[in-house]
Structure 1
Amino acid sequence: MASSSHRRRPRPEPDFQWRPVRGPLLAVAAVAAVALVVTLIVAFRPGDTSGDGQDRAVSDAGAVTSATPTVPDSASPTSPKPSATASTPAAGKRTTPPASATPSTTATPAATRRATSGTARTPSPAAGRIRPGTTYDGVATSYDVGNGDGACSFGPTSDVMTAAMNTADYETAKACGAYVSVRAANGKSITVRITNECPAPCTVGQLDLSQQAFAKLAPLSAGRIAITWSLLSPATSDTVSIRYKTGSTQYWCGIQAIGHRNPLARLEVRTGGGWLALTRTEYNYFLSEQGTGCGAELRLTDIYGEQLVVPALAVRADVVQRTGVQFARH
């Protein structure tokens, strides 16, 4: 038997006599019990999202996290594409426009140029400022060509249907040898070959025609007329020729291609390590300052990307040597 010290002491009796009223209390208790049961059923009903306690959940680490699932930044492969007419983005989706929607920062061509509409032309991977399938706006003036020689260093010629290209479009002799169709506002047109450069005050798009060529478009007294012009790849029975510059030897040489149908983009020489591209000068020779490749095989590339291989030729200064090859017509 436990000692008296471990007995629970009885509570002191209250001053007033308490008598429970059983009837009303039982009724109240019953109503409360029913209300509690209803509340529990509603609270734990599946799919119920009401109440503050349903909006937040506690993670395993004890941190409070959103109960709403996170939407990934990119849609799954099976997700439908958003409608183009949607006025607002879907919840959780990024609203940054795709890169293709960003305005282009590419510089627009000069105002003197416009693309020619019509059928697509052959791509020109090596073209410079003068591109096939493009029509250029400009002006035409005239000059006395003398013996026909010019900055392209082709030498004297009896061909008077020639022109000098403005410095910008001359592009360090890349325009040399190009055939150009020129049309005046009155509908008359001619074909000329670029043999010279027209420095300032000639402007972008300007052609300085031989007097004979200009006279086929308008009277020489007109002085200056509006024109459009475009590159040609003409029919020709001529083949490409090679000429070594005066003073060329096996230790230093300048090499020039003549009679090419299409503008020449690159000239390379064969070396022990492969093909070496030579630097082009404004007077239309490709220089080998150390003599590398002088007298070796040559590889010519036009603005369309076509390549011609020329067998090794002797270094014979200022002598035109025929090759028997020609670029394709476009």
Structure 2
Amino acid sequence: MTGVDCLPQPSTVRLVMREYEADVTVAEKTTVADGVASLLLREVGGHPLPEWEPGAHIDLVMPSGLVRQYSLCGDPADRGSWRIAVLREPEGQSRGGSIYVHDSIEPGTTLRIRGPRNHFRLAPAANYVFVAGGIGITPILAMVAEAEAAGASWRIVYGGRSIHSMAFLDELSTHGDRVDIWPQDQRGLIDLDATVGSAQPDTLVYCCGPTGLLKAVEQHCASWPLDALRVERFTSSIGEVEHLENRPIEVELAQQGMTVTVPADRSVLEALEEQGLPVMSSCRSGMCGTCETPVLSGIPEHRDDVLTHEERESNEYMMICVSRCRGDKLVLDI
């Protein structure tokens, strides 16, 4: 090996609005279930990747500029690589990201990533119940490992269309009867009474999966203590809530020393962009947490799927892509 071979490769890493961003190479692409591809990502220069905690996700930036969010599902202790898994959405339902990953990405492909960010953290508890549906296993996988390492009591019910469509069964199989595999074609819909049960002291429920599963689990846990249930969604719930009227509001930007009027037909994010102010965003539907912004004054009208009940009550942050103001004015730390 020559001396040139030993030189470190140049870094593509930069911090954007306090967030890590870098080019990564697809080191491996593996089929882990029917319609599910796993990608192993490494920074192109071989530099260590940032630390992350179970529940974290990253932005994957396609060459076309398309941005999609995927949960990290590898080992948080591995600073050399990140693993994600992507379900191929059916034709007509995909927004382009999953089709590109499955059809166009191969080992050696270079992609841009941002993150990680985490609004689905595993809070300390004595007991956990994990409920995963389909590709919703991805954030749960690392949570199971963390709960095990912490010595907590835990169990998981993992549902899918069929055994063949369910990823990472081999990794979960090492945990024995604490894992309840629930293929719908063999067992029907998950029996939440039998698997989740009733509210127990010091118990948190973490659920990720399709909308139908989330609604069923939310209904089942409606009488549990606030924030005992933590969910992560694939799609925004903003269209499912009671219609909220948009009114014009004033937004003061403390760092900029200026005030922006946000019309009724614009989000706060859009109004700031129209003023030429660079604000990081991604999903624009209140799901990813990229545009989370500190609130210095005023009461936000929260419409996101990111903040917990406790976080909403504190009114310290808001997602400016969807949330507005209960009054006439907000002061933001921008």
Could you tell me the TM-score, scaled by structure 1's length? 0.29
Specify the structure having the higher radius of gyration (Cα): 1
Counting helix residues as a fraction of each chain, which structure ranks higher?
2
Counting strand residues as a fraction of each chain, which structure ranks higher?
2
